[in-house]
Amino acid sequence: MAGVLPVWAEGMTIPFDIVGFDLDGTLLDTSRDLGVALNHALGTIGRPEVPYEEVRNLIGGGSGLMLRRALALTGGDEGIEFEALRQVLVGYYAQNIAHHTALFPGGAEMMDELQEAGVKLAVVTNKPHHLAVKLFDELGLAPRFASIIGGGTYPLKPDPAALHAMVKQCGGGRAGFVGDTTFDTRAAQAAAMPCVAVSFGFVDAPLHELGADAVIDHFDELARTLRTL
């Protein structure tokens, strides 16, 4: 019958008009470049470097929170001109933003699959907006996204305002969100959006406590997981 999809085709559809992604630890592994910038800033005040393996545990919630966690590990923040130090970190990172950063495995193929299914892709990140745009530009990924919203435009996640703005900028429709931390899952819950968590990111709580509707271990699982939500 005209206009009716066959059963096999119905099974291939993705029931979302928009899928939004967090950036750090979700779409992109930014830990090495963030770690280099963090340790550069710590070095300017005579603090020891944070080992790369530990940097991953400090990321989430923006540069300020990452820096506060690093200061706590290396001697505390008493007497530190915190905002000036954060600007050192951000300035160095801006100049060295994409030396080691890359999509997580399967990311390009996953985006191809969603876009071929007619899904609009978007990004909502607590990373400052200009840095998010610069990073995607340097990696050649910016044209993939119908909306890129970074920190400084709306309240940071877990506030849902940026997720609502994402939907509006993408022209409306049913949206889901993909993230790696409680900042993402709580924002999605507050925005009444289904949320998928990635286990390979900078996870800040046990997976079963993140509050996501589903958890994936690789991006090749995302499309079929979205079909269940």
Residue of 22, 180, 204, 213 with catalytic role: 22
Q: Is 75 left (phi over 0), alpha (psi -120 to 50) or beta?
A: left
159 is an active site residue = no
Strand 175-179 to strand 214-216: parallel, antiparallel, or no bridges (unpaired)?
unpaired
Residue 156 and residue 190: Cα distance in Å, rounded?
Answer: 13
Residue 65 and residue 157: Cα distance in Å, rounded?
Answer: 13
Whether residue 104 contacts residue 202, with contact meaning beta carbons closer than 8 Å, is answered with no
Tokens of 14: 């993705």
Catalytic residues: 22
